[in-house]
Amino acid sequence: QKEVEQNSGPLSVPEGAIASLNCTYSDRGSQSFFWYRQYSGKSPELIMSIYSNGDKEDGRFTAQLNKASQYVSLLIRDSQPSDSATYLCAVKGTGRRALTFGSGTRLQVQP
């Protein structure tokens, strides 16, 4: 079992729809969770961080964390073609400073 798992996609949604990206992790002691966006040929760019159970909203983005289920998700409202990218879930495991990444979910927003 991989430490951080994501569906590789592609996830295709029409413009204006809500995109829902999911991630599960294996280290129950993990405390810090991040969503990065990576355009093709570019480096990862931080979108959201979340540290406690519940929802965290920033503009069109909402991160959701459920530590009991070891599950973190990212919702993108009013999806735009410019949101088309790979979304990487990253977790800081127990006692670790480094990030453990999932393999990413490719999102395609259709105009």
Partner 1 sequence: GAGVSQSPRYKVAKRGQDVALRCDPISGHVSLFWYQQALGQGPEFLTYFQNEAQLDKSGLPSDRFFAERPEGSVSTLKIQRTQQEDSAVYLCASEDQETQYFGPGTRLLVL
* Segment near partner 1 (CB under 8 A); pick from 13-21, 58-66, 69-77, 97-105: 97-105
Contacting residue, 14, 16, 46, 57, with partner 1 by CB under 8 A: 46
- Interacting residue with partner 1 among 13, 37, 102, 107 (CB under 8 A): 102
19 binds partner 1, rule: CB under 8 A: no
If phi > 0 it is left, if psi is from -120 to 50 it is alpha, else beta; for residue 89 that is beta
| Per-residue x/- track, 22-41, partner 1 (CB under 8 A) | ----------x-x-x-----
C-beta of 17: minimal distance to partner 1 in Å? Answer: 25
Interface positions with partner 1 (CB under 8 A)? 4, 32, 34, 36, 42-46, 49, 88, 90, 92, 96-104
